[in-house]
Amino acid sequence: MSEALIQAKELTKTFGRGKKAVTAVEDFNLLVKAREVVTLVGPSGCGKSTVLNMVAGFMSSTSGQILLKGEPVTSVEPQCGMIFQSYALFPWMTVQENVEFGPRVNRLPKAERLDRARRYIEMVGLNGFEDAYPNQLSGGMRQRVALCRALANEPEVLLCDEPFAALDAMTRQVMQEELLRIVDRSGQTVLFITHSIDEALILSDRIIVMSARPGRVKEMIENHLPRPRHVDMQLGEDFLRMKRGIWKMVEEEVVASMK
């Protein structure tokens, strides 16, 4: 068990009280090992984001707990770097200032801050955009900045809340490749939420299919597709077979969630 980086134990989250109470997540168990990329897939409203928000410490659980390296998460956890679907960049800061934000509030010496910013800006290919403000950039570039900002804080795990959902299909594929390249190179642990089975198959080592509300683990699938992966493998036989299998599981839940 020592290799578990994140562990969710019998996690339950209920919103509201009395008759209006809604259980979003119930008895949810999860184990993410270091250097692993795990995706959570499931229908809208199945509690994927709720799970992620609890891991990040934005929300407390109604019962059960989350352990990060064996320690319970009780408040906002900077070791879990979050990438939001809406980018959540600071519009009054330049790219450089956004990237330096984490190191700055954590009081890293200036030289190290600059060094980190340089390294990660280079890594995500933002060179030349250091002085731009977020509203001068396209959606894809903004998400690159968000990724860069999270990485510059060197978190234990990267939490991704459908980060590419707002991007157009082509930009999305480019960003998936980019994330894969960075993860392969740095060994970053990632917990990724998505609606897209394709995205899950391309990115992850393990796929967790969640049931319709209340969210539970319906199925866990080891993804043995060979690495390094590229977007064009979406046309391969293995890929399509796995996709079909996962879609069957997800479909039942989507239908259930619409009732």
Q: Which residues bind other proteins (CB under 8 A)?
A: 56, 58, 76-78, 80-82, 84, 86, 88-93, 101-102, 105-106, 133, 135-136, 149-150, 153
Q: How far is the CB of 259 from other proteins (least distance, A)?
A: 31
Residue closer to other proteins (CB basis): 90 or 247? 90
Residue closer to other proteins (CB basis): 8 or 89? 89
- The β-bridge relationship of strands 22-33 and 4-15 is antiparallel
Q: How far is the CB of 103 from other proteins (least distance, A)?
A: 9
Residue closer to other proteins (CB basis): 101 or 120? 101
Residue closer to other proteins (CB basis): 76 or 240? 76
Residue closer to other proteins (CB basis): 82 or 121? 82
Rounded CA-CA distance 52/191 in Å is: 8
8 A C-beta contact, residue 91 and residue 135 = yes
Q: How far is the CB of 102 from other proteins (least distance, A)?
A: 4
Q: How far is the CB of 76 from other proteins (least distance, A)?
A: 4
Rounded CA-CA distance 84/142 in Å is: 11
User: By three-state DSSP, how is residue 98 classified?
Assistant: helix
Cα–Cα distances in Å, from 155 out to 3, 79, 159, 173, 175?
17, 5, 10, 24, 20
Q: Which are the contacts of 218, defined by CB distance < 8 A and separation ≥ 6?
A: 42, 209, 210, 211, 249, 253
58-71 burial, b for 16+ CB within 10 Å, e for fewer?
Answer: ebebbebebbbeee
Rounded CA-CA distance 73/192 in Å is: 18
Residue closer to other proteins (CB basis): 82 or 249? 82
Q: How far is the CB of 94 from other proteins (least distance, A)?
A: 8
CA angle 181, 184, 188 (to 5 degrees): 110
Residue closer to other proteins (CB basis): 76 or 255? 76
Q: How far is the CB of 54 from other proteins (least distance, A)?
A: 13
Rounded CA-CA distance 154/197 in Å is: 28
Q: How far is the CB of 257 from other proteins (least distance, A)?
A: 25
